[in-house]
């Protein structure tokens, strides 16, 4: 019989160690903590397989589930010595989700389940604290109604607020037990009114209601958005954990808290967390009350007047940090922990690898290598390549005079400037229009994640370092200032005020996530330092990787930046970008509009020295690293004059009549330029263009070699080849130019001639093409376009719908379609290498900087990937991880 339910607690647990796939992250770690003998309230886990079966069977549970849950419940009752639904001695449980990958706040939780009028009395009796029992009961009604019955949280909040207002109370703690009874009666009436039936009183009905709600929450909008953002497959499903309740709200010796075993923002060693006395877990995360610091050091640093846990509960604190240390050593990673203290007794509710900023990930990985906890290769695998983006982001220039308008907590590092917006939809809307925005909210909730993603940075007026805003921003790599209490937001007026100043929606501000400051205006930023831990990790990554990493760059600035980031060559220099320069466009237009070859040659002779200078500059910077220079690619009409003025300028330069030039310009227009007269087709029909470019390359090599003694290495790349013959013809012409230049300069250029593989036919006929090519570089932008028959320029208009409908899992222009386009690449690799064993293989489409695509390139056996300069470190790390995972 299939096993759907696994028990844990009391020093042991069922199931395989660390089986997150089956038990979900939370369930697997609870089981693990139980096995370690840590104080874990006992409970049981309904596996992720229940979830997948549930969705497969039209939202019906497997037949054996009910009896297995009953058995687990009976076992749990025995362990804790209480009975579910027993008015004398009631067992209460929490019901929580727990997917394989953590999805904080995305799915539902119900606490204090099992309460009704009778069991609440029993709880009051048993605890000797009527107020506590009723507080738990009203929390349960609120949470259960919201999560399971669909009666909104605000219904209950309004009742409570009104009640407090009528009596002039400000705090919940002012409400007496008898008054809670009144409120509970009102709550129940509100549920009856909303649903037409009473709040469920049978604990078993409550339990199945909550289990159903958690499984259903796997498909709620927030969870779907989150999965899409973090590439979590829908097929994984979530587990459900049912666990005996322990109470942090049983008075002044009870508490609840969350902690990291190291600083999740900087990675510094030291315990880092918050707790609340006399509260339940939801209170900390919701950011409603301001929590107290865990440690004395932190309290002093923050200038917090409330005592830290270290001071307020020294014994439990000592026990807690002992648990922290054991967990870190056991998991060999920084942990994110939830705990509850019930009348002086410590209970562990959760542990998991803590989410962290890239900076912290780096520091923790490097520190753990130094401490001998992990090896260099494991450290390389610990840092998410795309998270490095955060470290490559700018910080505010020291010399910049800061105009601070508010200060909050430094919740997520990095700095960013943008226009103020007050809601997530607006943030997304403005970002789509190309605006940089800063999302300013009282606090954020999981409904805001799309806006947080669209924003450059996030500011909240409420909430601590572990508030939703802080946790999510760190995960996303967005700078964040949280809990900036000075900020008073007027949502209706779309303004905020702080320190007596008013800021309107659309005003520019800068957020410094490292100091917690919010500045007026746009601050001056500086480039990040890439030394220290970053450099150490990169050295280990470089040791681990097999593929080289090159860059796509053509301006000296980009080439220089890429070199500093560790680029080992240029994988794509798009020469047409050099044609667009203001001071040369006239000559380019003259060339295009020339009536005949001699006119073109005359114009090209003006462009030659400029191209030669460009190439020489690139060779100087790259020294002996290989530089792939691609000959002219785009359709000529892209360079055509737009205005009468442009035409006049060309007319003056050439002495040709403006009217004739206009005619010629019109005649060049194409219906479908992406599939038109571009790439090597230009080289075939206008040989003099490629000949000029080849000459500029070889002459530049001679100049730089004479000047520096280095031998620049050119890889001359022919774009958009479909047929081997195209390459054969062009290669002969280029080689002839090389020989001529060698004769003229006395220097033999070092060069290869190769092609881009960016058309399906080229991939399929790779063997014929390899007969003439010394290298292939996969132009996956065009290869994606032509494989899908999907226009690069127009797809953006409807790709969103395709992603929404899950026709595409990811934008195929961002992350390689490994099935279709990937198949063509594999075919080309096999056929190309079959024809020429030492064929050099690389990729230079946008995918060359995407970690998942880089992994594919490693598997396909490419020699290098090439990407934009800022992605070079990401690609180095991703290539290292790909190599390690392949050999693993």
Shortest reach from residue 780's CB to ligand PEP, in Å: 5
Of 14-22, 181-189, 255-263, 774-782: span binding ligand PEP (CB under 6 A) = 774-782
Examine residue 572 and tell whether it contacts ligand PEP (CB under 6 A).
yes
List the x/- string, 162-191, binding to ligand PEP by CB under 6 A. ------------------------------
Backbone angles phi, psi at 421, to 5 degrees: -135, 155
**By the 8 A CB rule, do 687 and 733 touch?**
yes
Main-chain phi, psi angles of 237, to 5 degrees: 70, 170
Residue closer to ligand PEP (CB basis): 47 or 866: 866
- Residue 779 labelled as part of a binding site: yes
Q: Which residues, including other chains, have CB under 8 Å from residue 584's CB and lie 6 or more apart?
A: 578, 606, 607, 610
782 binds ligand PEP (CB under 6 A): yes
**Cβ nearer to ligand PEP, comparing 200 with 634:** 634
Nearer to ligand PEP, 470 or 572 (CB): 572
Residue among 164, 429, 574, 681 that touches ligand PEP (CB under 6 A): 574
Residue 574 interaction partner, one of Mg ion, ligand PEP, none, beta carbon < 5-8 Å per kind: ligand PEP
Residue whose Cβ sits closest to Mg ion = 782
576 interacts with Mg ion by CB under 5 A: no
Q: What does the alpha-carbon distance between residue 189 and residue 527 come to, in Å, rounded to a whole number?
A: 60
Nearest one of 762, 845, 853 to 572, comparing CA atoms: 845
Q: Restricting to residues 719-758, name those near Mg ion by CB under 5 A.
A: 758
Which class for 112: exposed (0-12), middle (13-18), buried (19 or more C-beta within 10 A)?
A: buried
Q: Nearer Cβ to ligand PEP, position 782 or 858?
A: 782
Q: How far is the CB of 870 from ligand PEP (least distance, A)?
A: 17
Q: How many Å apart are CA 397 and CA 403, to the nearest integer?
A: 13
Closest to 558 (Cα-Cα) out of 780, 872, 874, 846: 872
Write the interaction track for ligand PEP spanning residues 479-518; mark x where CB under 6 A is met and - where it is not: ----------------------------------------
Least distance between ligand PEP and beta carbon 782 (Å): 3
**746 annotated ligand-binding residue:** no
Shorter beta-carbon distance to Mg ion: residue 568 or 782: 782
Is 237 an interacting residue with respect to Mg ion (CB under 5 A)?
no
Cβ distance to Mg ion smaller for residue 508 or 675: 675
Region near ligand PEP per CB under 6 A, out of 55-63, 682-690, 737-745, 779-787 = 779-787
Q: Which of 87, 560, 781, 808 binds ligand PEP (CB under 6 A)?
A: 781
Per CB under 6 A, the segment of 11-19, 209-217, 523-531, 777-785 that binds ligand PEP is 777-785
Region binding ligand PEP by CB under 6 A among candidate stretches 48-56, 361-369, 666-674, 778-786: 778-786
Least spacing, CB of residue 790 vs ligand PEP, in Å: 13
DSSP 488-528: EEETTTTEEEETTEEEETT-EEEEETTTTEEEES---EEPP
User: Angle at the Cα of 636 (from 634 to 639), degrees rounded to 5?
Assistant: 100
Q: What is the SS3 assignment for 33?
A: helix
CA–CA–CA angle 57, 60, 63 (5° rounding): 100
637 has catalytic annotation: no
Residue 847 beta carbon to ligand PEP: minimum distance, rounded to whole angstroms = 8
CA 432 and chain centroid, separation: 18
- The reply to whether 760 sits near ligand PEP by the rule CB under 6 A is no
Are 692 and 739 a contacting pair, CB within 8 Å? no
Among residues 107, 360, 844, 877, the one that binds ligand PEP under rule CB under 6 A: 844
Residue 567 binding: pick among ligand PEP, Mg ion, none (C-beta 5-8 Å cut-off by kind) = none
Q: What is the DSSP letter of 386?
A: G
Q: Is 326 annotated as a binding residue?
A: no
Answer whether 727's CB lies under 8 Å from 680's CB: yes
For ligand PEP, the closer of residues 115 and 618 by Cβ is 618
Q: In whole angstroms, how close is the CB of 824 to ligand PEP at the nearest point?
A: 13
Q: Kindly state the helix (H) or strand (E) to which residue 558 belongs, with its residue range.
A: helix 556-564
Asked if 758 touches ligand PEP (CB under 6 A), the answer is yes
780 is in an annotated binding site: yes
Q: How far apart (Å, rounded) are the C-alpha atoms in residues 841 and 39?
A: 56
Half-sphere exposure of 685 (CA within 13 A, CB side): 12
Q: Could you tell me which residues come within 8 angstroms of residue 108 by beta carbon, excluding any fewer than 6 positions away?
A: 97, 147, 213, 214, 217, 220
Of 401, 364, 405, which Cα lies nearest the Cα of 381? 364
CA pair distance 62, 52, nearest whole angstrom: 10
> Contact region for ligand PEP (CB under 6 A) — 271-279, 599-607, 775-783, 819-827?
775-783
Q: Return the residues of window 598-637 that contact Mg ion according to CB under 5 A.
A: none
Q: CB-wise, 265 or 575, nearer to ligand PEP? A: 575
Between 483 and 779, whose beta carbon lies closer to ligand PEP? 779
Smallest gap, in angstroms, from Cβ of residue 719 to ligand PEP?
A: 7
**Contacts with Mg ion, 704-723, as mask; x by CB under 5 A:** --------------------
Site mask for ligand PEP (CB under 6 A), range 608-647, x = bound: -------------------------x--------------
* In the complex, minimum distance from the CB of residue 722 to Mg ion, in angstroms, rounded to a whole number: 12
User: Which residues pair with residue 84 across a beta bridge?
Assistant: 91
* Least distance between ligand PEP and beta carbon 551 (Å): 12
Binder of residue 572, out of ligand PEP, Mg ion, none (CB less than 5 to 8 A by kind): ligand PEP
Please report which helix (H) or strand (E) contains residue 216, including its range: helix 203-217
State the residue for tokens 């690069």. Answer: 792
Rounded Cα distance between 849 and 845, Å, is: 9
User: What's the CA angle centered on 125, arms 121 and 131, to 5 degrees?
Assistant: 70
Q: Is 760 in the site for Mg ion (CB under 5 A)?
A: no
Sole residue written with tokens 């907590």: 409
Question: CA dist 312 to 288, 449, 540, Å?
Answer: 21, 36, 44
Contacts for 58 with CB less than 8 Å, ≥ 6 apart: none
781 is in an annotated binding site: yes
* Active site (annotated) includes residue 480: no
Q: What is the DSSP letter of 151?
A: -
The sign of the dihedral angle between the CA atoms of 644, 645, 648, 654 is negative
Interface segment toward ligand PEP; rule CB under 6 A; list 163-171, 254-262, 433-441, 776-784: 776-784
- Could you please report the per-residue DSSP string of 401-440? ---EEEE-EEEE--EEEEEEE-SHHHHHHHHHTT--EEEE
Measuring CA to CA, which residue among 362, 400, 433 is closest to residue 512? 400
Please give the backbone phi and psi of residue 101, each rounded to the nearest 5 degrees, phi first. Answer: -100, 140
CA angle 33, 37, 42 (to 5 degrees): 65
Select the binding partner of residue 787 from Mg ion, ligand PEP, none (C-beta < 5 to 8 A, by kind): none
Min CB(850)–Mg ion separation in Å: 16
Q: Among residues 51, 480, 844, 857, which one is catalytic?
A: 844
Residues 765-804 within binding reach of Mg ion (CB under 5 A): 779, 782
Whole-angstrom Cα distance, residue 262 to residue 367? Answer: 11
Helix (H) / strand (E) containing 666: helix 658-668
The catalytic residue among 393, 468, 772, 847 is 468
Give least dist CB 295 to Mg ion, A. 56
Enumerate the known binding-site residues: 574, 630, 758, 779-782
Site of interaction with ligand PEP (CB under 6 A): 572, 574, 633, 758, 779-782, 844-845
Binding residues for Mg(2+), by number, are: 758, 782
Residue numbering of the annotated binding site for substrate: 574, 630, 758, 779-782
Catalytic annotation, residues: 468, 844
Q: Given the rule CB under 5 A, which residues bind Mg ion? A: 758, 779, 782
């Amino acid at each position: 019989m299939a096993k759907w339910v696994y028990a844990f607690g009391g020093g042991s647990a069922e199931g395989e160690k660390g089986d997150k796939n089956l038990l979900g992250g939370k369930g697997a770690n609870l089981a693990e903590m139980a096995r370690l003998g840590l104080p874990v309230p006992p409970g049981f886990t309904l596996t992720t397989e229940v979830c997948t079966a549930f969705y497969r069977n039209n939202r019906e549970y497997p037949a054996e589930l009910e009896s297995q849950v009953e058995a687990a419940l009976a076992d749990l009752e025995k362990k804790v010595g209480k009975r579910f639904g027993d008015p004398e001695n009631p067992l209460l449980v929490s019901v929580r989700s727990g997917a394989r990958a953590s999805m904080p706040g995305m799915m539902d939780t119900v606490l204090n389940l099992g309460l009704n009028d009778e069991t609440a009395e029993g709880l009051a009796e048993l605890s000797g604290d009527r107020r506590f029992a009723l507080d738990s009961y009203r929390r349960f009604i609120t949470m259960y109604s919201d999560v399971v019955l669909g009666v909104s949280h605000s219904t209950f909040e309004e009742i409570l607020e009104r009640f407090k207002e009528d009596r002039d109370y400000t705090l919940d703690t002012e409400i007496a037990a008898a008054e809670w009874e009144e409120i509970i009666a009102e709550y129940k009436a509100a549920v009856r009114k909303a649903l037409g039936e009473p709040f469920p009183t049978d604990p078993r009905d409550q339990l199945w209601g909550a289990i159903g709600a958690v499984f259903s929450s796997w498909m709620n909008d927030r969870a779907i958005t989150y999965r899409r953002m973090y590439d979590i497959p829908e097929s994984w499903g979530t587990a459900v954990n049912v666990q005996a309740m322990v109470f942090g709200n049983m008075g002044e010796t009870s508490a609840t808290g969350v902690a990291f075993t190291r600083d999740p923002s900087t990675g510094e060693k030291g315990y880092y967390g918050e707790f609340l006395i006399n509260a339940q877990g939801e209170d900390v995360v919701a950011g409603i009350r301001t929590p107290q610091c865990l440690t004395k050091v932190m309290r002093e640093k923050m200038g917090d007047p409330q005592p830290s846990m270290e001071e307020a509960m020294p014994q439990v604190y000592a026990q807690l940090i002992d648990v922290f240390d054991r967990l870190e050593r056991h998991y060999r990673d920084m942990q994110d922990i939830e705990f509850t203290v019930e009348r002086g007794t410590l209970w562990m509710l959760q542990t998991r690898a803590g989410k962290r900023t890239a900076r912290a990930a780096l520091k923790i990985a490097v520190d753990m290598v130094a401490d001998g906890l992990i090896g260099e290769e494991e450290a390389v695998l610990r840092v998410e390549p795309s998270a490095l983006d955060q470290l490559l982001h700018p910080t505010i220039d020291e010399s910049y005079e800061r105009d601070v308008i508010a200060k909050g907590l430094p919740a997520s590092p990095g700095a960013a400037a943008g226009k103020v917006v007050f809601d997530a939809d607006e943030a997304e809307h403005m970002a789509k229009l190309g605006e940089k925005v800063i999302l300013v909210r009282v606090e954020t909730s999981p409904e805001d994640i799309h806006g947080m993603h669209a924003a450059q940075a996030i500011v909240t007026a409420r909430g601590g370092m572990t508030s939703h805003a802080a946790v999510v921003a760190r995960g996303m790599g967005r700078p964040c200032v949280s809990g900036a209490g000075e900020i008073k937001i007027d949502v209706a007026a779309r303004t905020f005020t702080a320190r007596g100043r008013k800021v309107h929606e659309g005003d520019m501000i800068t957020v410094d996530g490292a100091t917690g400051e919010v500045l007026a205006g746009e601050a001056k930023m500086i480039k990040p330092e890439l030394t220290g831990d970053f450099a150490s990790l990169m050295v280990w990554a470089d040791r681990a990787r097999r593929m080289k990493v090159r860059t796509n760059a053509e301006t000296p600035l980009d080439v220089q930046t890429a070199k500093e980031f560790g680029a080992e060559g240029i994988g794509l220099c798009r020469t047409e970008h050099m044609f667009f320069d203001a001071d040369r466009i006239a000559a380019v237009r003259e060339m295009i509009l020339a009536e005949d070859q001699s006119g073109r040659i005359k114009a090209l002779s003006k462009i030659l020295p400029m191209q030669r200078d460009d190439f020489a500059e690139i060779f100087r910077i790259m020294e002996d690293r290989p530089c792939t220079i691609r000959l002219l690619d785009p359709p000529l009409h892209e360079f055509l004059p737009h205005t009468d003025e442009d035409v006049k300028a060309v007319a003056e330069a050439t002495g040709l009549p403006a009217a004739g030039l206009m005619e010629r310009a019109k005649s060049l227009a194409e219906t479908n330029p992406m599939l038109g007269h571009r790439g090597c087709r230009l080289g075939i029909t206008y040989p003099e263009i490629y000949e000029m470019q080849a000459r500029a390359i070889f002459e530049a090599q001679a100049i730089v070699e004479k000047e520096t003694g280095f031998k620049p290495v050119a890889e001359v790349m022919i774009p958009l080849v479909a047929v081997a013959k195209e390459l054969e013809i062009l290669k002969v012409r280029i080689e002839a130019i090389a020989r001529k230049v060698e004769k003229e300069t006395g220097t033999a250029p070092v060069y290869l001639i190769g092609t881009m593989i960016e058309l399906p036919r080229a991939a399929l006929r790779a063997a014929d093409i390899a007969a003439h090519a010394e290298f292939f570089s996969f132009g996956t932008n065009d290869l994606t376009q032509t494989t899908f028959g999907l226009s690069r320029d127009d797809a953006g208009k409807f790709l969103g719908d395709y992603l929404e409908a899950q026709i595409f899992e990811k934008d195929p222009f961002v992350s390689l379609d490994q099935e279709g386009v990937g198949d063509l690449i594999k075919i080309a690799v096999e056929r190309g290498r079959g024809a020429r064993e030492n064929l050099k293989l690389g990729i230079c489409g946008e995918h060359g900087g995407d970690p998942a695509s880089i992994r594919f390139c490693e598997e396909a056996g490419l020699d290098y990937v090439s990407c934009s300069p800022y992605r070079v470190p990401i690609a180095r790390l991703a290539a290292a991880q790909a190599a390690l995972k392949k050999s693993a």
